[in-house]
Amino acid sequence: MDNFYTPLDNKVIKSNARDFIRGRLWMFWSVLLVVGIIESLANSLPQWIFGDRLSNLSDIIAGNPDNIPKEISSNVFGWYYVLNVLITIVLIPLNIGVAQNVLAWSRGEDVNKWKVLFGGFNSAKLFFKQVGVVVLNTILCALWAILLIVPGIIKGLAYSMYPYVLRDEPDLSVWQTLKKSEAIMKGYKGKLFLMYLSFVGWFILGAFTFGILYIWLTPYVMTSTVKFYDDVRRAYYNGNDPARPVFSISSDEENVFDNNTL
């Protein structure tokens, strides 16, 4: 089936993203700050629980490692890392919630940002599905990266749209979600890579502003990504997305540009 819609050029996508975030930075940061606080507190938990024992253990080991029973050292370090892994898993739905909020805002949907942010905790089924997608994505990308770095990057780009697919097509399984992302991104992985590459200079510049530039840059990158997703998804469905019945092409998006494909 021939596509009648050709995705926009990256410059147009980024321009649309800049226009969208103008005057809306607080909308982004109201969510990002809450997530940042939650993640900071959660990631500090292992240190609060095991801090003294880890410190004493390190001192003992540094002085005379023969004085400490192996079962004690392994238990402390073991539980410390188990707790870190559990915290990482629990925080997964929050990061997906942030991405899905940006997607909804970009589409002009009237949503409760807190319900979207914490939506992954609404049911055990949804929670484990989101965790499963992220874990499987991590494993697959790692396996490809073991072979060569480039295949790992390619797979990472192919599966990168899973937060949005999870929202648009919630009935898909874990595996189907990643495969749908891969299908939507077929032919556009190089284009997405080039778009991300174009932000490198901004991130370097942000370091010289002591991070102040990131207040604008973070929403800019996030919005560019969701607009990229909506654009290539529209092309995938020939403008007739079953997950979005009203997926019209606005007059300023009817221009046809050359694609950078992989």
Write the pLDDT tens digit of every residue in 227-239: 999 999 999 987 6
Query: Exposed, middle or buried by CB within 10 Å (0-12, 13-18, 19+), for 248?
Result: exposed
Which amino acid, 248? S
pLDDT in tens, 34-71: 999 999 999 998 888 876 666 555 554 555 555 555 55
Average pLDDT over residues 179-203: 97
**Residue 258 pLDDT > 50:** no
Instruction: Give the lowest-confidence range in 18-32, 39-53, 96-110, 173-187.
Output: 39-53
pLDDT at 12: 97
pLDDT band for position 240 (50/70/90)? low
pLDDT at 252: 38
Domain coordinates of the chain in residue numbers?
A: 10-238
Tokens of 188: 């556009």
Conformation bin of residue 29: beta by default, left when phi > 0, alpha when psi is -120 to 50: alpha
Instruction: Check residue 177 and give its pLDDT.
Output: 97
| Global confidence as pTM | 0.83
Question: Which helix (H) or strand (E) element contains residue 188?
Answer: none
Is the pLDDT reported for residue 253 higher than 70?
no
